[in-house]
Amino acid sequence: MSAGDGDDERGDRAYHAFWADEVADRVEARDPEEPVVVKGGVSPSGVPHVGHVNEALRGYYVAGVLRERGHDVRQVFTSDDRDPLRSIPHRLMTLDGEYVERDGFDVGTLGRNLGRPLTDVPDPLGCCDSFGAHQTALLRQAVDAVGVPVDFYSATALYEDGAFADVAADLLARRAEARALLAEFQDSVDADGDYWPFRPRCESCGIVTSGVRSFDTDARTVRYVCEDVEAGDRTIEGCGHEGVADLTEGKLPWRFEWPAQWAHFQVDFEPFGKDHAEGSWPSGQEIARDLLDVEPPEPLVYEWFTLDGAALSSSSGNVITAGELLELVESDALRYFFAKEPRKQRDLAVAS
């Protein structure tokens, strides 16, 4: 395996010290309470590839610098497994690391459950309690493989425990403010429209729907109608059921869920990919400060990896896992790859 970028190794090592130290400087400038919290997170909808451990390893380097400076550091990692299933992956992976193509698993199980939370979808490989649990187990294996000690959290468990209920209630009570703020960043949201910052899970068909009609501030429940949901280039049909859901029975839209995670964990630093830098990060900062009254974490935007010149993609099946790379190179070599300049795209050239 080669990095395919021609950087001078000594110079890159010097820059590694710079970027991790520079981020640590910014974290310290916040005068954070102890422990300092470093966070990462991934939506486990497909095979967790090596790019997903960016979230863990970039944070690990900064956490290491902070620990060297005498700070107590807690590194947390979320599996955003309450996200709805939006598409059927081209391939899956067993917990033993074997790929399974579409003709080797029950595609119908996934197709019949599009729109439902990942943790409500049966495991098509039949070994875990749900598809979300299966994917989260793979994600945990990937983080363990690169040797990063993290406190691992399931978003589903956090919702069920009420971790985001207070934030959801406040956002729903301040619906007009939340809607107006989001409309500044998202063209699909009308500042004067009927947008609600919560997605209930339909008690009849199980999909995560957007059809909220009202919020009961005393009972902390929403009344909803199960409506169609857009998922990429497809429409997932709602069943039309009219029901009531409490705030543990659904999820916040991502642009609100991410700041809610910052508030819950009191996050001081989080690395994330360039897709968030151009989308949910700008709105997230404003939501955190103006609606949740918390300071957003110090950011680090990283570029994506490519594999033999093509984008890594769980949905398309163009993946290589951390475990597979560790069969080709020593762990120190893989760590060094992640220690390089985060904002430069790098290609993994893997000899066949």
Whether residue 123 is contained in a domain is answered as yes
Strand partners, 347: 306
Tally Cβ neighbours within 10 Å of residue 270.
Answer: 27
pTM of the model: 0.90
In a domain, 3, yes or no: no
288/246 same-domain check: no
d(CA 229, CA 150): 34
Does 329 reside within a domain?
yes
Question: Is the same domain home to 280 and 342?
Answer: yes
Q: Which residues neighbour 316 within 8 Å (Cβ) at sequence distance 6 or greater?
A: 90
Does the pLDDT at position 305 exceed 90?
no
Instruction: Express each pLDDT in 275-285 by its tens digit.
Output: 888 889 999 99
| Structural domain range at position 215 | 187-251
169 in a structural domain: no
Same domain, 29 and 106: yes
Predicted pLDDT at 6: 43
337 and 192 together in one domain: no
Q: Both tokens of residue 289? A: 């400060």
- Considering the domain architecture, whether residues 25 and 117 belong to the same structural domain is answered as yes
- Number of domains the chain is built from: 2
Cβ partners under 8 Å of residue 215, min gap 6: 172, 173, 175, 196, 198, 221, 222, 223
Q: Average pLDDT, whole number, for the chain?
A: 90
**pLDDT tens digits, residue range 101-126?**
999 999 999 999 999 999 999 999 99
Round to whole Å and give the CA distance between 314 and 43. Answer: 11
Same domain, 245 and 272: no
Instruction: Identify whether residues 82 and 212 lie together within a single domain.
Output: no
The answer to whether residues 201 and 90 belong to one domain is no
Nearest to 116 by CA among 48, 221, 200: 200
Q: Per DSSP, what are the bridge partners of residue 74?
A: 37
Q: Is there a single domain that holds both residue 219 and residue 77?
A: no
